[in-house]
Structure formats: C-alpha cells, structure tokens
Structure 1
Amino acid sequence: MDTSYDAIVIGGGSAGLSFARHAAGLGAKVALIERGKLGGTCVNRGCVPKKMLWTVADALWRAGGLTRSGLLGPTPQVDMERLCAARADKLQSIRDSYRGKLSEAGVTVIEDEAAMSAPGEVTVQGEKLHAPRIVLATGGHPIRPKMEGAELAETSDDVLEWTALPGSMVVIGGGYIGCEMAAIHAALGARVTLVTDTDRVLTEFSENAAKVGQRNMQAQGIRIIAGCAPAALRAVEDGLELALDSDTTIRAEKVVAATGRAPNLGVLGALQERVKLSDKGVIEIDECFETSLPGLHAVGDCADRLPLTPVAVADGETLARQLFGEHRDPVALRDVATTAFVLPPVGEVGQPAQGTIFEEEESTPLAAGVRADGPQDYWGLGGSEAAVTSVSLVGEGAQEAVAWAGQMLLHRPDRARMLRALGVHPTLSEAPMG
C-alpha cells in the first residue's frame, strides 16, 4: 500500500466521492477510505431508497383519492418482495458506478476503518498513511430521543431497510425526515401518528408553507400530536407502547425516532479535542472548509453546512478546486432549494424573512374535483419590489419546480418582470401570474 498522498479523504458518501474524483481529476494523488458501503447515507440509507419508496407511495396516494371518490376500483397492493429487490438492484448499480468512476480517476479506494493518529496521519489496515490535507467526509447518524426505552425505537436507517410494512406506526419528530416517513407509510396503508415537541411540523420551512403541508398530512389520515415530548417507550404483547404522559399512551407495531442526527467524529480519536464544533454540534469550518486543526478539512453532513446531498456534492468539488485548481467560493446556502417529500411535496428556496414583502396564495387544485381527499396547493414569494429572494411551493411537482425557481433567484428578478411570465393552465404555476 502507498503511504504518501496529496490528500486523504475519510468517508465515501456524496461529499467524499465528489472531492476524491475532482481532486484526482486535477492531478492530485488521492486515497479514499470508507468503512461501509460506497455512497454513504444518501445512496444506502437516505435519499435514493426514500425516493423509490415515495414513488410507490405517491402512486397509491393518487389512486386512493380516486378510489374513495368512486372513480377507480380497489387501490392496488404493494408487492414488497419485488420492491425490495428493485431497491437492492438500484443501490448496487449506483455503488458499482461510483467504484468505476473512482477507478477511472485513479483514486485509491481502501474499504476499512480509519483513525487519525496525528495531524496529517491516518492509520488504516495497520499502515500509517500521510498527506498534507486530510478531508473528513464521515457523515452523520440518527440519534434517539432521551427517554426511557428509546433503544426500542427504530430510526430512518432501519425504516429504509424494512422488508414488510407495519399496520401501525408512531413517528417521533416533526422535521422533514419524520414527516416523510409518516406520509409515505400512511399512503402505503399504515395507521400513522406523528408526535413532535414543536408547535407544528416541517419547522425547516417557512410557517405558512409548513402549515399547508401539515393540513395535507392530516387530510391523508395522519394523526399529529404537537407540543409533546414522549416520556417512555415500552414493549407490550402486540408491539410497542409510547407514553406521552402519565395518562396517555399510544400503541403501535413500530415506533420510529426521527429526532435529529449527529456527526460521525470517532475517527478523530484524541484529536477530537482540538477540533472545534459549532453550536449545532457539527464541525466548524471556514470558507476553505478548514477546521480549527490546520490541514484538516470537513465537508458533507459532519460539517457546519446544510445536510443536503447537492450541498455535499458541490462542497466536495469546491474544496478540490480550492486545493488543487482555481479558487471557487462555496455555494451560498440561501440559494439552495430543498423539498420535503410528503404528499404533495413542500419545496422552498431562499429564506423568507419577517418584514419583507411577501405575496402568497393557497388554492384547491383542479384534481380535488375528482379526488376524495382534496390536498391544498400553496405558493409564496418573498423579497422586495426590487428583487424576489424566496419561493415557497406546496403541490404536485413542487420538488421539481423549486429547483428551477432556485436558478431563477440567482438573478434576483423583480416582481414586475416576473409578471411577464405566464404559467400553464390549469396548474399551480399560473397562480402567481394571475
């Protein structure tokens, strides 16, 4: 094994893969160390399997609304065996593709545990590897709530490997991960209760968009209990029992904790004391992704950026260019679009702020005329007369439209010019222009 490199990246998820490929493409000698499966959280336990499951749930949700209105026959059932096989095949094909691209780029891939033994030094497979630049791309892991019996709860990692669907489940946590798990499994046929200690769900999104998303979840049949921190979780004969307080309990086959994530920092060993963390508990970095330990950089979910795959990929490439090519500034987080894959999706880009001009409208889509559940649509524009700086959407296709909105906002369009663009009739897109 070679022991000297220009850069060593620890972690083969979205950020680490992006850094390694681009750094090698710029002529650097790079080693990538991954203790698990290539692709990290996004490919193996996150975005990709979630989106595949959501695709099935979305189809069932649409069909179910038409069935309940009497326009379609019985809602089809999910063949979980085939779905799991399709999921496994897709994930393996992605991992194989990554492996091939790393090989073509000349990246040395080492599949084993790594440990930093000193600045610029990584120990793996009994060898000490050296590089002037070490890049942490170790990602994060789900954390469980602090309550009695929390170890009985499952996490999003577990959910996305289920091979059978529960008849009932409780989700603890009202962020986008918890809401996605709730919406998807409600559409797949489970009786779902969501419990959150916040006053509403989807707190990552602006209030009015989130409230429409919450009402759509409730219309889907999801019971939402807000402002409540569960006290204990116990095993009972027919599943699990979640105690909300001394008098109130909920029973379900499965309880899922979606109560946040924490960075994977074990690789730092004794050096962890020299690496400063932000108030959010992730690694603090500067504009060049460098930590408080010189020569140590961090990208992806372990760093103090947005924990989103597109950000991780962009930051990995940006760091590679900063170190081995022409300088590039990190992408501005205010321009990053994001979506909660509930039903219908909630999408947003920009940061709606108090005191800015904000135009919005909630409407009933034409599809409600033939569906029994009648989800609501929503759009909102934030900014000033001189520039629109945020777009919020709730509706079918919001996950695609919000990305295009993000590209539009880079040019800071003014409201008057936006009025010149006409939407497609009859869709949500025409509403802001009417």
Structure 2
Amino acid sequence: MDTEYDAIVIGGGSAGLSFARQAAGLGRKIALIERAELGGTCVNRGCVPKKMLWTVADALHRGSGLTRAGILGPAPQVDMTRLCAARGDKLESIRQSYRETLKDAGVHLIEDTAGLTAPGEVTISGQRLHAPRIVLATGGHPIKPDMEGAALACDSDEVLNWTTLPRSIAIIGGGYIGCEMAAIHAALGVRVTLVTDTDRVLTEFSENAALVGQRNMEAQGIRLVTSCTPEAVRQAGDGLELVLDAETVLKVDKVVAATGRAPNLGVLGALKDRVALTDKGVVKIDARFETSLPGLHAVGDCADRLPLTPVASSDGETLARQLFGTHRDPVELRHVATTAFVLPPVSEVGQPSPKAIFDEATLSPLSAALRADAPQDYWGLGGSDAAVTSVSLVAEGAHEAIAWAAQMLQHCPDRGSMQRALGVHPSTSEEAMG
C-alpha cells in the first residue's frame, strides 16, 4: 500500500466523496478512508431512504384525504417487503456508483477504520499513512436524550431500517427529523404522537410557515404535545411507556428519539485536545475549512456549517479547489434552501431581518375542496422593495420550487419585478406572484 499522499480524507459521505473526486481530478494523489458504507448518512441512514419512504407516504396521504371524502375507494395497503427490497436495491446501486466513480478518478479507496496519531499522519490497521493535508469528513450520529430508559428508544438510523410498521409510536423531538418521521409514518397508517420541549414544532423555520406545517400535521391525525420534556421510557409488556409527567403516560409500540445529532470525532484520538470545538460540539473551522490544528481540515456534518447534504458536497469541492486549484469562497449559508419533508413540505431560503417588509398569506389550495383533511398552503416573501431576501413556502412541490427561489435570490430581485412574473393557474405560486 502507498503511504504518501497529497491529501487523505477520512469519511466517504457526501463531503468526503466530493473532496476526493475534485482533488483527484486536479491531478492530486488522494486516499479516502471509510470504515462503513460509502455514501455516509445521506445515502444509507438519511436523505435517500427517507425520501423513498416519503414518496410512498405522500401518495397515500393524498389518496387518503380523497378516500375519506368519499371520492376514491378504499386506500391501498403498503407492501413493506417490496418497499424495503426496492430501498435496498437503490442504496446498493448508489454505493456501487460511488465506488466506480472513485476508481475512475484515481482515488485510492481504503475500507478500514482510521485514527489520527500525529499531525499529517493517519493510522489504519497498524500502518501509517502521511499527507500534508488531512480532511475530516466523518459525519455525525443521532443522540438520545439524557433520561431513564433512553436506550429503549429507537433513533432515526433504526427507524429508516424498519422492515415492519408498528401500530403506534411516540416521537421525542419537534425538529425537522422528528416531524418528517411523524408525517411519514402517520401517512403509512401508524398512530403517531410527537412530544417536543418547545412551544411549537419546526423551530428551524420561520414561525408562520412552521405553524401552517404544524396545523397540517394535526389535520393529518398526528397528536402534538408541546412544551413537554419526557421523564422516562419504560418497558410495558410487548410495548413501551413514555412517561411525560407524574400523571401522563403514553403507551405505544415504539418510542423514537429525534433529539439531535453529534459529530463523529473518535478519529481524533490523542489529538482531540488540539482541535477546537464550538459550543455545539462541532469542529471550528476558518474560511479555508482549516481547524485549530494546522493542516487538518473539516467538512460536512462534523464541521461548523449547516448539516445539509448540498452544503457538504459544495464544501468538499470548494476545499479541494482552495487547496489544489483556483480559489473559491464557501457558499453563503443564507443562500441555502432547506425543506422539512412533512405533508405538504415546509420549505425556506433566506433570513428576513426583523425590520424587513414581509408579505405573506395562508390559503386553501384547490385540492382542499376535494380532500377531507383540507391541508393549508402558505407563502411569505421577506426583504425590502429593492431586494427580496427570503422565500417561505408550504405547498405540494415546495421542496422543488424552493431551489429555484434560492437561485433567484442570488440575483437580488426587487419586489416589483418579481411580482410581475405570473404564476401557474391554479396554484399557490400565482398567489405569491400576484
């Protein structure tokens, strides 16, 4: 095995893969070390399997509202065996494509567990590899709350590998992961209760957009318990009990902890005290993604950036260019679009200031006239007359539209010009454009 490289990247998720491909394409000798499956969280335990489940849930959700209104016949049933098989096949095909892409790029893929033993030195199975640049792309993992019986709860990794559906679940956590798990499983026919210690769900999004998303979740049949910190999880026969307080206990088949994620930093070993972390426990980096230890860089979910796949991929490519090609600044996080895959999706880009002009509206889409669940849509435009700086959407297709909105905001459109564009009729877009 070669032991000298221009750069060694630890982690084969979105950030690490992006860095390795780009750096190798710039003519550099690159090693990528991955201890588990290529693709990292996104492919194996996150975005991809979630979106496949959401696709089925979305179809069932739309159909069930029409069924309850008497317009469609009985709702179809989910064949979990076929769904899981299709999911497994897709994930394996993605992993294989990554393997082939790395090979074609000339990246040396090492499937092993890495450890940093000195600046510029990585050890695998007793062998030492060296490079002037080491890139941490180790991702993160779900964490469970500090409470009695927390080990009895499933985390998001486990949920996305379920092969059968429980009859009932209680989800702890009202962020986008908890809400997505709630919406998806409710549509799949599971009785869902979501418990959050905040006064509303989806606090990552602006308040009014999140509140519309919350009402849609309640209309879907999800029970929401806000401003509550559960005390314990207990075994109860074949199921579990989630203790909310001295008087309230939820009896369910499964408890799901969606209470945040932490970076994978075990690779730092004896060097951990030389790598500064933020208050959130992720790695501090500068504009060149360099940590407090010279020559050590960090990208992806372990670094102090937005923990989103597009950001990780962009940052990996940007770092490769900064080190070995033409300099490029990191993407500005205010231009990054994000979506919670509830039903319908809640999507947003940009952050309006408190003094911004903000136009918004909540409305009933035409489809609500046919559906018993009557979902609400929402749009919001923030900024000034001279420049729109934020867009918020709650609607079917919002997850697709928000990316185009992000591109539009890069060009700082003035409000008048933007609203002279005509939306498709009948749709929520025409309300925002008008």
The TM-score, its normalising length taken from structure 1, stands at: 1.00
Question: Do structure 1's residue 150 and structure 2's residue 150 form an aligned pair?
Answer: yes
Question: Do structure 1's residue 274 and structure 2's residue 294 form an aligned pair?
Answer: no
Residue aligning to 1:240? 240
Residue aligning to 1:85? 85
Residue aligning to 1:330? 330
Q: For each residue in 1:212-239, what CA deviation from the matched residue of structure 2 results, as whole angstroms up to 9, or x when unmatched?
A: 0000000000000000000000000130
Residue aligning to 2:358? 358
Q: For residues 281 and 356 of structure 2, what CA distance do their matches in structure 1 show?
A: 31
Report the 3-state secondary structure (helix = DSSP H, G, I; strand = E; otherwise coil) of the residue aligned with 2:420: coil
Residue aligning to 1:164? 164
Question: Do structure 1's residue 431 and structure 2's residue 420 form an aligned pair?
Answer: no
Shift of 1:126: 1.5
The TM-score, its normalising length taken from structure 2, stands at: 1.00
Q: For each residue in 1:40-85, what CA deviation from the matched residue of structure 2 results, as whole angstroms up to 9, or x when unmatched?
A: 0000000000000000000000000000000011000000000000
Q: For residues 42 and 130 of structure 2, what CA distance do their matches in structure 1 show?
A: 29
Residue aligning to 2:393? 393
- Does the CA-based 8 Å contact 1:206-1:352 persist in structure 2? no
Residue aligning to 1:231? 231
Q: For each residue in 1:121-148, what CA deviation from the matched residue of structure 2 results, as whole angstroms up to 9, or x when unmatched?
A: 0000221000000000000000000100
Question: Do structure 1's residue 211 and structure 2's residue 195 form an aligned pair?
Answer: no
Q: For each residue in 1:72-106, what CA deviation from the matched residue of structure 2 results, as whole angstroms up to 9, or x when unmatched?
A: 11000000000000000000000000000000000
Residue aligning to 1:200? 200
Residue aligning to 2:382? 382
- Does the CA-based 8 Å contact 1:346-1:399 persist in structure 2? yes
Q: For each residue in 1:322-375, what CA deviation from the matched residue of structure 2 results, as whole angstroms up to 9, or x when unmatched?
A: 000000000000000000000000000001231211000000000011110000
Runs of 4 or more consecutive aligned structure 1 residues displaced over 3 Å after TM superposition: none
Question: Do structure 1's residue 27 and structure 2's residue 27 form an aligned pair?
Answer: yes
Residue aligning to 2:112? 112
Q: For residues 379 and 155 of structure 1, what CA distance do their matches in structure 2 show?
A: 32
Residue aligning to 1:38? 38
Which ranges in structure 2 are unaligned for 5 or more consecutive residues?
none
Report the 3-state secondary structure (helix = DSSP H, G, I; strand = E; otherwise coil) of the residue aligned with 1:53: helix
The CA RMSD measured in Å over matched residues stands at 0.5
Residue aligning to 1:139? 139
Q: For residues 87 and 301 of structure 2, what CA distance do their matches in structure 1 show?
A: 24
Report the 3-state secondary structure (helix = DSSP H, G, I; strand = E; otherwise coil) of the residue aligned with 2:386: coil
Residue aligning to 1:178? 178
Residue aligning to 1:58? 58
Aligned length: 434
Q: For residues 352 and 179 of structure 1, what CA distance do their matches in structure 2 show?
A: 24
Report the 3-state secondary structure (helix = DSSP H, G, I; strand = E; otherwise coil) of the residue aligned with 2:141: strand
- The one-letter code of the counterpart of 2:110 is I
Report the 3-state secondary structure (helix = DSSP H, G, I; strand = E; otherwise coil) of the residue aligned with 1:419: helix
- The one-letter code of the counterpart of 1:187 is A
Report the 3-state secondary structure (helix = DSSP H, G, I; strand = E; otherwise coil) of the residue aligned with 1:78: coil
Q: For residues 385 and 73 of structure 1, what CA distance do their matches in structure 2 show?
A: 49
Residue aligning to 1:315? 315
- Does the CA-based 8 Å contact 1:133-1:297 persist in structure 2? yes
Shift of 1:34: 0.2
- The one-letter code of the counterpart of 1:103 is K
Sequence identity (%): 76
Residue aligning to 1:75? 75
